[in-house]
Each structure stands twice: as C-alpha cells, then as structure tokens.
Structure 1
C-alpha cells in the first residue's frame, strides 16, 4: 500500500507537508500582533512564505488582505488538484464542496435581501467558485437561482428531495445550509470509508468530529429560535461519534445545560462548555473552542503517512490561518488592539 501510494501521490504528499511547514510560526503571529497599521501587516506577511501577494493591488484594507490570502489558498489547492489522479481527484473535489455550499447560501441570502448579484459574486470564496456561477449574473429570484445553479452543479447531489424551490424564500438560509452540509458530510464519510486503509481511519474520525460539532452548534443556536425539534433532527449529520439517541436528546434540549449533559454523557464534548463558562471576558466563544480542537485534530493528521487526510487537514489549517490573519487585521484596523491576541492557535509542532 505504501509503495503504491508513493508512486501515485508521494510527490503531492511531500509537497503538502512542505506547504504546511511554510505556515505562520508563533514568531510570525507575534510580529503581526505588534503591527500598528494594515500597511505594517501587509509588509509583515510579505516576509513570510506568502511572499509579495499584495504587489500593485491598491490601498491597504482588510478586504484586500482577505482576498489575497484566499487567492493563495486557491492556488495551492489548484496545484494539488491539477496534479492528482483518482481517487484523490474526487477526494479533492469533496474538499471544495463546503465552500460551494457557503457561496450558494450567501447568494440565497443576498437575493432575499435584494442585493445586486454582481456584488455578491465578488464576495464568493474562490475555492467555492464553479463554472455555473458565471452564468447567473442576471438571476433575479430564487427560482431562477435554483434552475440555473442548484440543479446543474456539483452540489446538486446534496439537495434534499423535500426542499421545494417554491419555498426557498420562506426557509431560513441557515436551514438550507445545514441541510446541504448534512448530506455533504454523510456523502464524504461514505466515500472516505470506501477508500479503506489509513485514509478511511483518519478521515472518518475527522468527519465524525465535524458532524458532532455541527449537531451541537445547531442545537445551541436553535435554543432561542422557532425551529421545532423534528426539523432540528433533520439538520443533524448522522455520521458523527454521537449516537442517534444523543442526537434525539439534542433536538429536544431546551437549555444549554441539557446540551452539556448530553455531550458529557456520550462523547465528552461537555468540557468545551466548562471552559466556555470560565471565560470571564466573553471573548472566547464555543465556536472558538471547537476550532481549537479542530486545529489539534487536523495537525495530528500529519503524524501518519500514506493517506489523503493530510490534504484535507492542510486546507483546514490554512483556512484557519487566513481567519487568524483577518482577525488580527480587523483588530488593528478598528484600533481594538486589546483583542488582537484572541486568534486561534495552530499547533504546528506535530
């Protein structure tokens, strides 16, 4: 297995490990947090493996920084994808699907709020851009979006059969996103399981964690909403570590304590709520705690060899790095330097 893996994908694995070794170190983050302006941030980034990604691209802004970081991520992804062979090619496409789902959700929300399609398209994440997006500049309502995009795209396979296009305007966009994500995670989990070996072992563990996180987060966010328990259950991915009985309890939970009890009883996620409660200044959210745990899990993927998980984990870690840089940039731009250190640490020592 190891010999076959090296023959087919050994170069790409080594390349990806090299990409990961080029990610920002603690000293790089220290330099960023000490910057006094966005221009300083951009100069500091140029001194890392990102290089001169801002050359000749206008005035310093958080939007510009975010766009150039996303472009670099897309370039690295595209290089791996273009040099891959099956089944890695399909695996890499699965990595792109969440970005497509997020782009579609943003377009739906924008159309509901009557925002110009051209402006919305510029806000799409480059990893989630696909051919059909270029054909919808003249789309004016959700029915047209459904006909032009959803039905004839790679994510059409994740559209629930009970999601009628006529009611998309009445359905909360987060419910649409959650429904697509559930089908995506379950499909990706099944695909990775079929690959067998270390890839199946590493990826099913990572995707099960992602499924659990989404179920818990949806349960928490639904506490003060009008979403009924049966509809909550339909949004929960079923490929996580949490058994079906736990998902049932989460769907009918009426307060955060009950969610914590379920998490403690079945998979120990309750400790994330304990840490969250001790955060007296309110800056570290439950989402942040999940991101910290996700970063550790993805960094640990690199401890094993001969599996596709490192490609998934690298993209996840790189996206988190982009998020950190944008957070620091926003704090500097808004002169809230007391919050500049509340980024998510990425353990690169694995």
Structure 2
C-alpha cells in the first residue's frame, strides 16, 4: 500500500518540476509558482529547481536524490531548458513513470492488478494521442515523437508507429479508430460540442466508476483522487459559465457518477 501511494505522488512531482522550470525560464515570481505546485507532488528540494540552468544541473543538484531520478535515464540528452525541451522532458519522464507504475501494479493482488492495468492503459493511450496531436506542425521529428509515446497501453505497439508518423488530425484519428477499439469510438465526435479532452474525461470517469464496483482494491484510491479532480474541474466550469453569463452551458460538465 505504501509503495502504491508513493507511485501516485510521482506524477504530481513531474508536473511540479515542469511547472517550476517553466516559471523560472520565463522569470516568474518563485513564491507564486511554488504556491501553485500540487501538494501531493511536493519534495524537499523542489524550491531549489530555480537554480538549474540545464538538464544536467537540474539532475545533479536537485533530482538525483528524489524518486524521479531513475526516470531521467533517457532525458539527459537535452541541453537547453526552453519551452519545447521542458515539454519533451515532462513527457519522457511521464512515459517512464507510467511504464514503471504499470509494471508495479502487475504485482498487486487480484483484482487490483487488473483494474489498475486498465486505468493506466487508458492514461498511456490518452498521452499517446495528445502527444501526437500536439506535436503536429512542431519542430519534432517523427523519431523524437515516437520516443515520447508510452511503451504500453492498448494502442501500443500497433498504433504507435502510425501515431508517430501522423501529419494531421485525420491520420491520428484513423490510427486511433483502427487500433483503439470501442474505447475511442466517439473521441473525435464534436457533434455534442465536446472537445477531445472532454471525451477523455468522460471515459476516465466511466473507468473510475467501474473501479468502485469491486471490493478491497487499491484501485479505488486512484479512482477517488481522479473523481475529486473532475469535481474540481466541474466547479470551475460552472463558475466560469456564471462569470461569462453563459448559464445555458452549465450542464455541459462531465458527470462523475
């Protein structure tokens, strides 16, 4: 249980690292950035990240003694800490972290192993699709994009090559619909005014709801955190609709249960 809870915090650690480095590069106020860091991803040397000027110093002075250190194995090739490299670092770290987490959940008792595998496979697939879409039209080569895609999930390995070579949204869509099965059937359907991200959130809530139907599983902790995060997004959405005087759109939030 303790190790499982540790793994949950690693994802927030990676987001905090990326947030602080980005803020430092853009000369944002350090105290303001630290306040925005997620408490589940806090570690003692996090404030020291602002002194890093490149990836090596980032690792050697700050991250070498943190749980994220093993995930930096394939990241140290980047030199400058600019917006593109920071995003590459974040995605490589997240890919390595999710793969490690996925291998760990295979050691959990049944049905925790099965349910957590399903939840992490979805997370890997979501990241693979988002990386492919967001890298279209950027400086990333096909090889660099392929290196960012998670090495597990329902889309791996069948769809990975197609996603890494996709030049437009339609090619991403074809790869996902060909290899993704029923889980992503309506992902690119915007007839209900839902974005791709909305469809991801909807699917995530369906998987989390299913996780609660089992008893005495580790997966309910992950599902509980994700549903609470969705509730926060829903509250924010409702508040924005009220502030922008678009109350007719309030009901377009993602239902948790």
Corresponding residue of 1:325 = 235
Name the counterpart of 1:80.
none
Unaligned runs of 5+ in 2: none
User: Aligned pair 1:99/2:12, yes or no?
Assistant: yes
Match of 1:220 among 133, 156, 159: 133
Paired residues of 1:261 and 1:270 also in contact (CA < 8 A): no
Q: Distance in 2 between matches of 1:198 and 1:164?
A: 39
Is contact 2:53–2:80 with CA below 8 Å preserved after alignment? no
Residues 1:168 and 2:81 aligned together: yes
Corresponding residue to 1:158 among 71, 79, 84: 71
**1:91-240 maps to which residues of 2 (within 5 A)?**
91-134=4-47, 136=48, 139-143=50-54, 145-164=58-77, 166-169=79-82, 171-240=84-153
Normalising by structure 1, we get a TM-score of: 0.68
Deviation by residue 1:134-189 (Cα, 9 ceiling, x = unmatched): 5x28x344345444432222222222334246433374322111111100110000
Q: Normalising by structure 2, report the TM-score.
A: 0.90
2:204 is aligned with 1:304? no
Q: Give the 3 Å change call, closer, same or farther, for CA 170–311 of structure 1 in structure 2.
A: closer
Counterparts of 1:67-78 in structure 2, within 5 Å, are none
**Structure 1 residues 221 and 303, CA gap change in structure 2 (3 angstroms):** same
One of 309, 314, 333 as aligned partner of 2:224: 314
For 1:223 and 1:171, locate their aligned partners in 2 and report how far apart those are by CA, in whole Å.
13
Give the distance between the partners of 2:40 and 2:245, measured in 1 at CA.
31
Q: Distance in 2 between matches of 1:339 and 1:149?
A: 45
For the Cα contact (< 8 Å) 1:111–1:142, is it kept in 2?
no
- 1:336 Cα deviation from its structure 2 partner: 3.8
For the 8 Å contact 1:324–1:343, the answer to whether it is kept is: yes
Aligned to 2:185: 271
Deviation at 1:270, TM superposition (A): 4.6
Q: Which of structures 1 and 2 has the bigger CA Rg?
A: 1
| 1:251 corresponds to | 164
Q: Distance in 1 between matches of 2:44 and 2:80?
A: 26
Q: CA RMSD in A?
A: 2.0
The within-5 A match list for 1:25-44 is none
Corresponding residue pairs, total: 254
Counterparts of 1:342 and 1:103, CA distance in 2: 29
Q: Distance in 1 between matches of 2:62 and 2:245?
A: 41
| Structure 1 position 111, deviation (Å) | 1.1
Q: CA deviation at 1:257?
A: 1.6
Q: Secondary structure at the match of 1:195?
A: coil
Matched with 1:344 is 254
Runs of 5+ consecutive residues of structure 1 not aligned to the other structure: 1-87
* Aligned pairs (5 A) from 1:284-299: 284-299=194-209
